[in-house]
Structure 1
Amino acid sequence: MGRIDLSLREPTYDAVILGEEIGPVEVLADEHYRRQGSFAVDDYNLWHVQNEGECLVPSTAVLRDLVAHFCTIYDPSRVVGLHQKEEVWFERPVLLGTRMVYTGRYTDKYERRGKGYTVFESEAREAETGSLLVRQISTEIMRIPPQVQLGTGSAAPPADGQVKGLWPEHIASAQRAHESLQPGTPIASLTKTAHQDQMAVFSGINKQYANIHTDYTIAETAGFRDTLAQGAMETCWLSEMLANFFGRSWLETGWIKNTYLKPVFRGDVITCRGVVTAVELNRQRPVISLEVWASNQDGAMTAAGWARAAIA
């Protein structure tokens, strides 16, 4: 079992305090941070490494940190929650050497069918200028009724404008965003494998976190058949697909909101897909909207939602 830190609070639904500021925590996006982040999110795109003369840190590595920012005061080795939804705004690229400040707070908690849900909001800003880099809102189940067997079921796809997950085989996939794309056009897909070493680094093994993502015994005790990837890993993979499609504009105007439908276990092969739903003008700038989803090797949808960004 994981080491219990008595100086930290137990991460339970009842222990969550609404509105309490968590942080600020300062983080340096140095070369070690870039390399570790690239490994954790499995993103080695060269345009991140050298883009327009600037060396960039994957913004999804910052998202990884923000999702776990509550662990600043809540013990990460006692977390057995289930990530349900994620919403992310990418506002500015993160340059190598940037000093960032993380802040966050729980903004809501509610109960449905015996389950206790919490909503956590956090953001990363440049320490020097205060400019917003990345912002996220995550919804998690932190109270699970004892009769519920974890890891065996699946959630319903998001209801508002439900994602159908229909892949148009007869239409060629668009490699890059442009104004002439028509609704129904697929974009280039991306396939990832949930490797245990990357899952562990993503979920804090370097900080000695022991949880359902890093330790098989903890996962089994919690009712899972194996260790599982954090839901946010899928959001990072979907984001990489969208960054390939939109380019740098994704890091400046990107928005994604998705629901996690089914657990992703160690060794699962996940394919990320997206289909254009609209091309519209927003403040005189063309914006592409898409429905996006991820499916495992058995064809089961594991995450689904929507995304949009401006065309560069």
Structure 2
Amino acid sequence: MTWRDLTDPRVVAHGVDPEAGLKEPVPENLEIPERLGPVTLVVDDHKIKRYAFTQDDYHPWHFGPSPFGGRIAHAGLLSNDLVQLFTTVYAASRTVGLHTEEQLWFDGPAHLDEEVTLDGTYVESFTKRGQDYVVMEASATGAGGRGILRHRGVEILRTRPGDVAGRGSTSGAGGSGTVDGTFDEDAPTAVVGTPSLRPGAPLPFLHVTITQEQASVFSRCGEYVRNTHSDLAVARAGGLRIPIVQGQQQCGLITGMLTRFFGADLFTGGWLRVKFIRPVEVFEQLEVGGAVTAVRELADDRLGVEVEVWVRRADGALSTIGWARAEVPAS
């Protein structure tokens, strides 16, 4: 039976250590390029329900019929599996890193009970501000190589999170300039196919609090992985007062909002790039928002829509900022 995760936690009952023989996650052990995976897993009912719990996202397409015929996974469901592919080579519970940037290309939905293959490579490493970074490119494909999701992520491989979290910038190449979390407060919420879809209009905001249980499950406690997101002792050893929400979990909150905004078109050609600029502690109240920045007329009664997106903490500071785009019907 194909298991639903990167590792099968049931093997520990037979005395197997899932991390035995894996490399220490430190920069000197890197090989560039370095293959990560491949891994085959199944997008089963449990995996979808578990992700829905971690994101507090119960969109009806994930539990019943969808525009793609049957039940589909959340757009971001496989994104953390792709991020975590490095743990097929490096010991997950000895990793104390920091995810700084994420980019996703959505090629098609993952269907209920579909077997998917994850494959990735460390393609680059560099040093910046005294920290050692590594860049991964990876993809998730379905039967016959059908594209589902592509990922490019940047991470500090080994650090003390409490010392470096919050250094990020709110702008970057490939986005739409500086993201400051503002929008036209007099404009109605943007709705695709209506006159409300115009620059400055806000996206459908979400308000959510990620609890410790949600963060722990998202960050693989079910596979017996210990990290700064699931374990208080590990978090405090990393200079944090309490576990922090994984950047990829915040990214998932944004993809959930974009699903409600772009609809099915997010799954078949959407793009998202985010930067994680400040930490989010578990139990923090979060606002997930965004604003339209550009609307372009395309052929065949289609529009190219670009947006800014963000996650805002309860203290008003932005923790995640980014840019997204998709093509949608004009009417």
Structural RMSD (CA): 1.9
Tell me if 1:150 matches 2:163. Answer: yes
Structure 2 SS opposite 1:68: helix
Shift of 1:5: 3.3
Deviates more, 1:238-247 or 1:178-187: 178-187
Corresponding position of 1:270:
286
Count the aligned residue pairs: 306
Q: What letter matches 1:106 in structure 2?
A: Y
Shift of 1:72: 1.2
Q: Which runs of 5+ in 1 are unaligned?
A: none
Q: What is the distance in 1 between the residues matched to 2:234 and 2:221?
A: 14
CA offsets, 1:72-114, max 9 Å, x none?
1111101111110000011101110111000001011000121
Corresponding position of 1:177:
192
Q: What is the distance in 2 between the residues matched to 1:134 and 1:204?
A: 20
Q: What letter matches 2:22 in structure 1?
A: L
Contact 2:55 2:210 in 1 (8 A): no
Q: 1:178 to 1:14 in 2, by over 3 A?
A: farther
Of 124, 147, 152, the residue aligned with 1:132 is 147
CA offsets, 1:51-86, max 9 Å, x none?
144111113111121111111111110111111000
Of 20, 26, 43, the residue aligned with 2:57 is 43
Q: What is the distance in 1 between the residues matched to 2:37 and 2:295?
A: 39
Q: What letter matches 1:155 in structure 2?
A: G
Q: How is 1:204-223 mapped onto 2 (pairs within 5 angstroms)? A: 204-223=220-239
Q: What is the distance in 1 between the residues matched to 2:94 and 2:299?
A: 46
Q: What letter matches 2:102 in structure 1?
A: E
Q: What is the distance in 2 between the residues matched to 1:7 and 1:101?
A: 23
Q: What is the distance in 1 between the residues matched to 2:243 and 2:279?
A: 10
Q: What is the distance in 2 between the residues matched to 1:14 and 1:257?
A: 28
Q: What letter matches 2:171 in structure 1?
A: P
Q: What is the distance in 2 between the residues matched to 1:279 and 1:73?
A: 43
CA offsets, 1:265-288, max 9 Å, x none?
111111111111111145653111
Q: How is 1:40-189 mapped onto 2 (pairs within 5 angstroms)? A: 40-50=54-64, 51-52=66-67, 53-126=69-142, 128-144=143-159, 149-150=162-163, 153-160=166-173, 161-174=177-190, 176-178=191-193, 180=195, 181-189=197-205
Contact 1:151 1:223 in 2 (8 A): no
Tell me if 1:247 matches 2:260. Answer: no
Corresponding position of 2:33:
19
CA offsets, 1:211-232, max 9 Å, x none?
1010001000111111011101
Q: 1:283 to 1:88 in 2, by over 3 A?
A: farther
Q: 1:4 to 1:216 in 2, by over 3 A?
A: farther
Shift of 1:143: 4.0
Q: What is the distance in 1 between the residues matched to 2:227 and 2:37?
A: 22
Of 196, 213, 221, the residue aligned with 1:197 is 213
Structure 1 SS opposite 2:163: coil
Contact 1:4 1:77 in 2 (8 A): no
Of 241, 265, 277, the residue aligned with 1:261 is 277
Q: What is the distance in 2 between the residues matched to 1:225 and 1:269?
A: 17
Q: What is the distance in 2 between the residues matched to 1:66 and 1:208?
A: 18
Q: What letter matches 2:169 in structure 1?
A: A
Contact 1:41 1:60 in 2 (8 A): no
Contact 2:199 2:295 in 1 (8 A): yes
Deviates more, 1:219-228 or 1:283-292: 283-292
Corresponding position of 1:301:
318
TM-score (norm: length of structure 1): 0.93
Q: What is the distance in 2 between the residues matched to 1:141 and 1:106?
A: 13
Q: What is the distance in 1 between the residues matched to 2:263 and 2:164?
A: 35
Shift of 1:149: 4.5
